[in-house]
Chains A and B, each alone.
Chain A
Amino acid sequence: MRADTKVKGRLRRLERAAEISDGKFVRQDKMVCLMEAVIESADIVCVEGDNQKQADFLSKCLAKINPEKVNKLHMVLSTVSLGEQLDIFEKGIAEKIDFSYSGPQGLRMARMATAGKIKIGNIHTYLELYSRYFTDLCPNVCCIAAEMADRDGNLYTGDNTEDTPVVVESTAFRSGIVIAQVNNIVDNIPRVDVPAGWVDFICESPELFFLEPLFTRDPAQISETMILAAMIAMKGIYAKYLPKSLNHGVGFNTAAIELMLPTYGEELGLKNNACLHWLLNPHPTMIPAIEDGFVKTIYTVGSELGMKDYIRSKPDIFPIGRDGSMRSNRAFGQMCGHYATDMFIGASLQIDPQGNSSTATADRIAGFGGAPNFGCDPKGRRHSSPAWLKAGEEAYAGLQSPPRGRRLVVQLVETFHGKMEPTFVEKLDAWELQKKAGFALPPIMIYGDDITHIVTEEGIANLLLCRTYEEREQAIRGVAGYTPMGLARDRVAVENLRDRGIIQRAEDLGIRKSDATRDLLAARNIKDLVKWSEGLYDPPSRFRNW
């Protein structure tokens, strides 16, 4: 049996492109024409849209192709964050999408899905979607973004390598076409991140690719209730389990913890005993902890605007190449987050009485990103660590189970967020969204049975120790404060859970609320972070107010 239709298809496409390009190199004004030549109707196409880096020029070009020539495209991309990525559906160029995260375009995506303008295949976690690139969702054509190309076509993807390796490898090794936009074409690149032999076409983009400073949190915005919740989490969880490796979500609550490691963390004896290895984007709020010697390593899925020079000065900590610059990798980072961390701690917009949590609202399709891979117990984990064993003891004590470990999955939330929106709700909006968008399942980000602790300014609910649904529910209501869900708690049951240490309040942990002041933050504003970094952190202008 012959099995070479894909190779033949590739040659057919390259033949059509031959007169449009100059070898591998394509002029900016020829890119739309080239795309019409190499993309065929009903192709699976990946236009690199990462959590941070965007192939924005190629995305714009794709939106300009003639839908009469090329249509019915099936788009696969991890993050939908630019308008052009959805324009192609309005214009009839593409009809279906499989993706992971759509934060910035979530509202429009939901409107288009309801109006039948876009077919959503599935919303994935990052690792799931990448895995499908190599199985049933392999791109026929991928459009990627790199910092530089040399004259042979080798690419340098640098600090924000992110998704590029999985996108290119899945495409190039299934006879697909690889198109790259680069910021610059130069004689010598710092290192080869993608070899020329895997790349078909290269175009110098009119502007540098778009990057979002997603991970910068201004310490000035951290409130005393966030600091109180951070103290509760640090004393009740970090100091108790001593997680050696961990991932932090991106909110202000975890930023508060990062800034309190050199102060409160030191006082609790965490230094050298916990928080040694991190899977984390280079959060600027980590600078004081790094400078204080808290951190041994950070592996990273992306980078952060303004952190480049600081990162380069810390080759023991960040993944730095022989050229001196960092290489991130979202696929490997997600793998670390899933298998190699003792603890995930993050936030959510809604939590229900069984602890299921979601960032979806009825009119907004937000997607999952990496949270479900971090926010779960990896059932395939077999290596042990003290935190993993301790959590396992609590989880399986008294059950008919061999000794097992357990990853800590912590939700750190304020009982109310934004303009007095309750975080704790009787029913997640995800159910309404499921009905509206016609999904097979409600888009729940982290299932209740994957969560080990919920921390609010009201205290900790240790769900590992709960043995029945009723106990779990009252433990969660017991830290839900003055939200309607919290007020509906059974006060006797909650006091009983408190006596058994399943609920711990600040006073149970010996925390004085008067100590919850901004004096505990090692840096109180962005300028302090620049000082800690000895001037190496160069914050984007929107964060500079001095």
Chain B
Amino acid sequence: MEHLEYTFKSSGGICKIRKIFSIVGVVASGNLEVMMERKNLDGGSHFVIDTSAQGFDEAWKAVITDFIERNKPSDLLVSINDNAASPAVVSMRLDQAFEDLTTE
């Protein structure tokens, strides 16, 4: 198990969050669970990751950076429980959770 945390300053985007929280995915093999919720972070975002795969710090950083660039979130707390999902699956789940969080 590895525990990772990343904090991002305000992306400059406005807060589009429409729900208290959103959750997608399951912690099955090659899959992950992503929970997103609104939290006052001065417009920034915070990611808390528990993963069964060791040593993928760079990959997480790359996927999350792209997610921030794509969606420009604001005041977002993301909690992830991962069971060795590929970057492609992680990226898709992040987008799915954010789509859900920003839809009424």
Contacts and interface: CB of A to CB of B under 8 A. Distances in A.
Interface of A: 223-225, 228, 414-416, 420, 456-458, 481-482, 487, 506-507, 512-514, 516
A225 B92 contact: yes
A490 to B, nearest CB: 15
**Chain A contact residues, majority secondary structure:** loop
Contacts of B88: 225, 414-416, 456-458, 481-482
B87 A513 contact: no
Interface of B: 24, 59, 62-63, 70, 86-89, 91-92, 95-96, 99-100, 103
A481 B99 contact: no
Nearest to A495: B69
Nearest to B30: A223
Nearest to B103: A514
Contact of B86 (A228, A420, A516): A420
Given A416-B88, A482-B62, 20 more contacts: A224-B89, A224-B92, A228-B92, A414-B86, A415-B88, A456-B88, A457-B88, A482-B63, A482-B87, A487-B62, A506-B95, A512-B99, A513-B92, A513-B95, A514-B24, A514-B99, A514-B100, A514-B103, A516-B92, A516-B96
Contacts of A507: 70
B71 to A, nearest CB: 9
A506 B95 CA distance: 11
B57 to A, nearest CB: 13
A101 B99 CA distance: 45
A416 B62 contact: no
Given A228-B92, A482-B62, A513-B95, A416 B86 contact: yes
A516 B89 CA distance: 12
Given A507-B70, A514-B96, A514-B100, A225 B89 contact: yes
Contacts of B103: 514
Contacts of B59: 482
A113 B91 CA distance: 43
Contacts of A514: 24, 96, 99-100, 103
Contacts of B92: 224-225, 228, 457, 513, 516
Nearest to A229: B88
B96 A513 contact: yes
A458 B86 CA distance: 13
Nearest to B53: A420
A415 B89 CA distance: 11
A513 B67 CA distance: 13
5 contacts: A414-B88, A456-B88, A457-B88, A481-B88, A513-B92
Nearest to B90: A482
Contacts of A228: 92
A414 B103 CA distance: 28
Contacts of A506: 95
- Most chain B beta-carbon neighbours within 10 Å: one of A225, A420, A513: A513
Contacts of A513: 92, 95-96, 99
B53 to A, nearest CB: 9
A456 B70 CA distance: 17
**Which 9 residue pairs across A and B have the least CB separation, nearest first?**
A482-B87, A513-B95, A514-B99, A514-B96, A457-B88, A416-B86, A513-B96, A225-B88, A415-B88
B87 A481 contact: yes
Contacts of B91: 457, 481-482
Contacts of A414: 86, 88
B100 to A, nearest CB: 6
Contacts of A420: 86
A224 B95 CA distance: 13
A168 to B, nearest CB: 47
A420 B89 CA distance: 12
Nearest to B86: A416
B29 to A, nearest CB: 11
